């Protein structure tokens, strides 16, 4: 009865006359600024009243988690090692190496990216998934390279990979109807790939990305327990549901049994370590006063409130710049047991010894390593594979 009353309350709010942004052509979706900031506060007060301890929260969490998979048309996440793995063009730099990688996630669909590995290490190593946000070819940009190189120098194996429609993954448009489904599947196979590497410690696996990469981070972290540390950057919000098809183009938030938000989805990671990085110039501007206390309360159900932190930058914008990276480095070092010796300089993580490579250096497919012959091309071909994939 409580769940039905809550659903009725949320549906009453979710009308075209009340919502900040509503898509009448797709009423099953929650997109962009679906709530106003004030509505989000009221909605989450009502939602939070439904769980006051670990048991009641976990009942809600299971409902949300299953709703993500059902809404994304995924019956079960694969644990299989990817097929057709190609690793080439190794470049050994100052304390780390970079290689270009491709592997198959679904028939004819290839994940592409760069593998950053530390040099001169012994024993098992932490692994970090590094998805990127929207923008002009982010995987090749300096800010992504700096993050991955620094974490590799700290002793982590890091994989930076393309969103669909970006970089070497231009087999379809980025905004295909089921982009969310494909990116969640691709991220699962990135995790499978990393865990197949003999030096990776399966108990020390993290994920961190900004903006749309932040969405990829908290979505996979919510449904795959193998992620042990999560750092979503400038994305977790109670009122904003993602501005792209790849984030909110499938009904993962609104289900027949419930309506949820990215804030609740991020909270599914409790009680494992999570850092929310926010800024003062986008939909995360209220994080210290709203989103962070909301999540911290849920962590408190497990007596693990200290496991969730917020690094807020009120004067900064929507990015994963140097100051935000500093916060992420410290958190990941603490919870993954990374080595900061030789990386810290005057109390800060030093990025000056990293080498910024060219796009040509980082390209996966080229004349010597062409696109695989069985690779799909075009939205329709990719769509047909996704339609039958469950």
Res 32: pLDDT? 93
Please determine, for residue 19, whether its predicted confidence score (pLDDT) is greater than 60. no
Give yes or no for residue 202 having a pLDDT over 50.
yes
What's the rounded mean pLDDT across residues 328-340? 99
pLDDT-derived band at 26, boundaries 50, 70, 90:
confident
Nearest to 279 by CA among 309, 231, 332, 319: 319
Chain position carrying tokens 């108990």: 203
CATH fold of 71-361, please?
Answer: Rossmann fold (3.40.50)
pLDDT 10s digits, 130-187: 999 999 999 999 999 999 999 999 999 999 999 999 999 999 999 999 999 999 999 9
As a whole number of angstroms, the distance between CA 216 and CA 252 comes to: 13
pLDDT value of position 3: 57
* 7 pLDDT more than 90: no
Q: For residue 271, what are the contacts with CB-CB under 8 A and spacing of at least 6?
A: 299, 302, 304, 307
**What share of the chain in percent tops pLDDT 90?**
92
| Residue 341 CA neighbour count, 13 Å, CB half | 3
Residue 291 Ramachandran class (φ > 0 left, ψ -120 to 50 alpha, else beta): alpha
What is the predicted pLDDT for the residue at 366?
97
The pLDDT assigned to 109 comes to 98
Averaged pLDDT of the chain:
95
Kindly tell me if the per-residue pLDDT of 46 is higher than 80.
yes
Q: Is the pLDDT of residue 94 over 90?
A: yes
pLDDT for 16 equals 46
Angle, helices 54-71 vs 212-223, to 10°: value is 120
The Cα 244–Cα 32 span in angstroms is 8
Express each pLDDT in 214-232 by its tens digit: 999 999 999 999 999 999 9
| Residue extents of the structural domains in the chain | 71-361
SS3 89: strand
pLDDT above 80 (res 13): no
d(CA 140, CA 77) in angstroms, rounded, equals 29
Helix (H, G, I), strand (E, B) or coil at 100: strand
Q: Are 105 and 185 in contact (CB under 8 A)?
A: yes
Burial zone of 314 (CB within 10 Å; 0-12 exposed, 13-18 middle, 19+ buried):
exposed
pLDDT number for residue 389: 87
| pLDDT tops 50 at residue 40 | yes
* Model pLDDT for residues 227-282, shown as the tens digit of each residue: 999 999 999 999 999 999 999 999 999 999 999 999 999 999 999 999 999 999 99
Average pLDDT over residues 71-80: 97
- Residue 271 preceded by cis peptide, ω within 30: yes
Over residues 107-131, the pLDDT tens digits come to 999 999 999 999 999 999 999 999 9
């Amino acid at each position: 009865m409580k769940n039905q009353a809550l659903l009725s309350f949320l549906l009453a709010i979710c009308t075209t006359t009340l919502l900040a942004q509503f898509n009448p052509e797709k009423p099953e979706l929650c997109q962009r600024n679906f709530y106003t900031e004030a509505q989000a506060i009221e909605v989450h007060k009502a939602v939070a009243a439904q769980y006051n301890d670990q048991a009641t929260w976990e009942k809600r969490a299971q409902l949300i988690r299953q709703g993500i998979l059902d809404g994304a048309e995924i019956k079960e996440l694969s644990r299989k090692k990817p097929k057709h793995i190609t690793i080439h063009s190794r470049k050994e730099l100052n304390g780390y190496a970079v290689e270009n990688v491709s592997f198959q996630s679904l028939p004819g669909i290839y994940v592409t990216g760069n593998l950053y590995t530390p040099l001169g290490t012994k024993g098992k190593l932490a692994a970090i998934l590094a998805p990127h946000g929207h923008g002009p070819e982010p995987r090749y940009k300096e800010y992504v390279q700096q993050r991955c190189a620094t974490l590799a120098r700290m002793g982590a194996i890091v994989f930076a990979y393309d969103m669909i429609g970006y970089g070497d993954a231009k087999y379809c448009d980025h905004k295909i109807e089921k982009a969310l489904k494909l990116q969640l599947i691709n991220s699962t196979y990135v995790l499978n790939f990393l865990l197949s590497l003999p030096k990776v410690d399966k108990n020390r696996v993290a994920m961190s990305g900004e903006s749309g990469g932040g969405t990829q981070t908290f979505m996979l972290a919510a449904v795959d327990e193998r992620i042990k540390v999560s750092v979503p950057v400038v994305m977790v919000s109670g009122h904003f549901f993602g501005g792209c098809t790849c984030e909110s183009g499938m009904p993962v938030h609104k289900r027949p049994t419930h309506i949820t938000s990215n804030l609740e989805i991020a909270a599914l990671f409790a009680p494992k370590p999570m850092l929310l990085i926010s800024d003062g110039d986008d939909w995360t501007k209220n994080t210290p006063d709203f989103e962070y206390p909301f999540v911290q309360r849920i962590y408190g159900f497990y007596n693990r409130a200290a496991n969730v932190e917020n690094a807020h930058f009120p004067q900064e914008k929507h990015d994963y710049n140097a100051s935000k990276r500093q916060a992420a480095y410290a958190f990941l070092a603490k919870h993954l047991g990374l080595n900061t010796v030789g990386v810290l300089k005057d109390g800060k993580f030093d990025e000056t010894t990293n080498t910024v490579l060219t796009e040509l250096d980082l390209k996966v497919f080229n004349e010597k390593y062409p696109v695989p012959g069985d690779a799909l091309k075009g939205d329709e071909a990719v769509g047909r594979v996704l339609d039958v994939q469950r």
